[in-house]
């Protein structure tokens, strides 16, 4: 015997929620009318992003852009959208009712203004330069690794001044790897010139990148600029 089916719908939204067997009366007849249910079957095929909604007389297919709760009670899915008056920092909107998106809705976040992207790029440039400046080092022609920071420049100048004023021929020098070396004043002057050349290259790279950033006309141009201060090979 075929048992009639009742097709249930949400009492607030009207959306189809499932089916169940009709209840049988004592006389053997089936109850085919119930609150929140109908004996009219919903469409057999429902396109993705749509649900069947009971109008009171028939089922209709309507768009469903809402988020839904998963088993852990977290909101999932849904169609993100923005309105024309939203800005790039605006949070995505979600529908809370069945139906199409509002007229004029945008499916992509508004673009970040070019000048904000430029400002962020300049900030990244400043941070990268500061990091390169305080951690600079290079391999000297003297045969060992040396610091190439502003502090190193001062230290070298003081050592040269010491040797020149005392007439001492050599002194102890701590290299980048914390190994002590015996160096002459000629070694120190060579190292001094290497550090100055390295630091000039850093500043030259910074100024060049800053000019490129300031001259960029599009977001794509700014995003294509790679900030690097590896100048030891130059």
- For residue range 143-199, list pLDDT tens digits in order: 999 999 999 999 999 999 999 999 999 999 999 999 999 999 999 999 999 999 999
Nearest to 188 by CA among 199, 196, 178: 196
| Residues 6 or more apart in contact with residue 137 via CB below 8 angstroms | 145, 146, 147, 148, 176
* 23, 4 contact by CB (below 8 A): no
pLDDT in tens, 7-35: 999 999 999 999 999 888 888 788 888 89
Report how far residue 37's alpha carbon sits from residue 45's, in angstroms, rounded to the nearest whole number.
19
Predicted structure pTM score: 0.67
| Sign of the alpha-carbon dihedral angle for 6, 9, 10, 12 | negative
Continuous segment of H or E residues that includes residue 206? helix 185-215
pLDDT tens digits for range 28-55: 788 888 899 999 999 999 999 999 999 9
Q: For residue 60, what are the contacts with CB-CB under 8 A and spacing of at least 6?
A: 52, 53
């Amino acid at each position: 015997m075929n048992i009639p089916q009742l097709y249930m719908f949400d009492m607030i939204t009207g959306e189809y929620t499932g089916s169940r067997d009709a209840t049988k009366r004592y006389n053997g007849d089936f109850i085919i009318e119930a609150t929140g249910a109908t004996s009219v079957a919903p469409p057999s095929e429902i396109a993705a992003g749509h649900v069947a909604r009971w109008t009171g007389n028939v089922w209709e297919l309507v768009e469903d852009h809402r988020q839904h709760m998963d088993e852990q009670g977290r909101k999932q899915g849904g169609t993100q959208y923005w309105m024309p008056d939203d800005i790039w920092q605006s949070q995505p909107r979600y529908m809370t009712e069945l139906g199409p998106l509002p007229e004029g809705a945008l499916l992509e976040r508004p673009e970040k203004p070019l000048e904000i992207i430029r400002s962020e790029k300049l900030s990244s440039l400043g941070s990268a330069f500061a990091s390169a400046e305080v951690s600079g080092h290079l391999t000297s022609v003297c045969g060992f690794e040396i610091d190439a920071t502003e502090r190193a420049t001062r230290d070298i100048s003081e050592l040269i001044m010491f040797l020149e004023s005392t007439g001492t021929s050599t002194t102890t020098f701590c290299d980048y790897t914390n190994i002590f070396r015996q160096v002459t004043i000629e070694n120190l002057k060579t190292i001094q010139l290497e550090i100055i050349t390295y630091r000039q290259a850093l500043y030259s790279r910074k100024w060049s990148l800053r000019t490129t950033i300031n001259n960029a006309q599009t977001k794509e141009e700014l995003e294509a600029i790679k900030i690097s201060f590896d100048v030891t090979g130059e």
